[in-house]
Chains A and B, each alone.
Chain A
Amino acid sequence: MANKRKSANHYVAPFDEKSVDVIDAVRVDDKVSNLWLDAWRDMRRRPMFYISGVLILLVTLVALFPTLFTQVPPDLDCQLSNSNGPPAPGHILGYTKQGCDIFSRIVHGTSTSLSVGVIVVVMTTILGIFFGAIAGFYGRWVDAVLSRVGDIFFSIPYILAAVVVMSVFSAYRNVFIISLAIGIFAWPSTARVLRAEILRVKNSDFVMAATAIGVSRFRILMRHVMPNSLAPVIVVTTMSLAAAIVAEATLSFLGVGLPTTFMSWGNDISQAQSDLRTAPQALIYPSIALSITVLAFIMMGEVIRDALDPKERATR
């Protein structure tokens, strides 16, 4: 297109340059795309997704099949002569104060941390979705009541609340009880996120369209509103799994978590603190295991959040 034009001249572009017959012609990609598929494709382009994915997979595997990773029993074969001992053949991380193998204890403690995380997340998700969805969707007094209930739980720091609960149930401490203690006070954040999202989605035109078609309220909630509100919940859930693992370790460290007979990273860290200066390995290695696990879940949460956030995607 080399032709210059002067002002006031009637300029017409050459006809053949573009065809106007195809106005609003349907052009679709080879690949089907919607929010979830796009997010999935987006995630697979990120190295962080693979790093955290592999770590999470590894941690899960260790938790399920600890004996694949170590043959040394974590608490039976302990000899006080090895107390705080350095690494030895077959015992690559050395010994705890009780003379137990640190590596073996870390491996066997994994399932405790992960179970607490999973149970808490299942609990908070069920409670959060129930309270959040009902409050957000049905609104009015239902919302007022449920949201206040949530606020009450939200206003109590859940570590503090868990300390109280664990002290009360000191006779029955086990993985399930500690998960309950953490979960019962952690769900309001999930509920809040979902409620806010549902309030946004329920005013969409497609919800109005569904109502006018004759779709029932409950079906609208399940079919149209919920699927469009779940993205942030997934992010919060992944991150709260990490938080729950930390909470368990914290409670055990404070001595109100699991009894010392349980293999737990928090317990090990707690017991190792008195000899930090002479035998730091007993404290450092479980801490590293804890950090890596928590980090993996947080990173995964961030990857999912970035992939699901359309605003974030628009700027790339």
Chain B
Amino acid sequence: MSIVAEHIGKAFGNPPVRILSDISLTIPDGDFVSLTGRSGAGKSSLLYVLSSLDSPTEGRVLIEGVDITQMSSKQLHATRNVKIGFVFQFHYLIAELTVLENVLVPALKLHQEVSRRPRAENLIAKFGLSDKMNRYPRQLSGGEMQRVAIARALIMQPKYLFADEPTGALDTINGEAVMSILQECNTKDGTTVIMVTHDPDFAKMAKRQIRMADGRIISDG
């Protein structure tokens, strides 16, 4: 099973501005891909299209052989809930929930907050936040909040993890800690990780680097 993009194109606005042009690629299970390139190259746009957050203007995306552009809203959200995890540059934690409750938000959708609680506590402990389990986001540092966001992305044991500049708002130490977590997810749990990054050092930590420019893939390897 894998993620397959077939002749993806994306344009928006009036007159249309082309963001992605004829992109085709296959990401096999267990891969760790970094999308790199200058600002405006289309990295994040491609990430959003591959992850179902955005829809392509042309082409299609298949996840596990299913065309996500043809899925119903219910199927799409179910897929996002169970099979896909997201980490963004901004943590997007819910301010009114504690660390533990934020991590369990995806499980709340399926009423699995009780059964998934041990895993949530394990993830929080693994990321060095055991003593902060009942604290609110406003009581955490930037790095700590990003780690909570990653724990939230992993609570449902997703097959695919999409990360958009996960270290963009972090200092070096916290950035390295986040990259370490992503690598561990990939190597130990077999999670397929697709990550957008500006940092060439972090890009090299991936198994495969896809470079983009002007909405096209210019190198893949």
**Pair from one complex:** no
The chain B residues found within 8 Å of chain A, CB to CB, are none
Please list the residues of chain A having a beta carbon within 8 angstroms of any beta carbon in chain B: none
